[in-house]
Amino acid sequence: MKRYFIVYEGQVQGVGFRGTMISLARKHDLTGYVRNLLNGKVEVEVQGEDIDPFLKDSLSDRYFIKVKDYSIKQIPVIENEKQFTVRF
């Protein structure tokens, strides 16, 4: 089990990116959260057994979503986390 903190940059706010992250997390059976930041970026914490397919899918352009860059670091796992949510 791994957990990553990811910050996405680009055209990622106001284009359905958070909803896409929820769909991808459910598709890949992952937990965590997604949140818009005041600087126009989006942060994600994602946890699960195999996060690589989620990461690959999250970087794909979709409609108006255009990820220009991202940073990622491994962080401690949160035990007993049950779902992937939107935080405000």
Q: What are phi and psi of 44, to 5 degrees?
A: -135, 135
At 70 the pLDDT is 98
Looking at 1-88, list the stretches that DSSP marks H as alpha helix, in order from N- to C-terminal side. Answer: 17-27, 52-58
Structure-token pair, residue 15 = 């284009």
Residue ranges of the domains in the chain?
2-78
Q: Mention every residue, 6+ apart, whose C-beta is less than 8 A from residue 73.
A: 4, 5
Residue 43 DSSP symbol:
E
CA distance 1 to 78: 10
Structure-token pair, residue 26 = 């459910």
CATH number of 2-78: 3.30.70.100
At 62 the pLDDT is 86
Return averaged pLDDT per consecutive 10 residues of the chain, 88 residues in all: 98 96 97 98 97 96 93 98 96
Known catalytic residues?
18, 36
Model-level pTM?
0.95
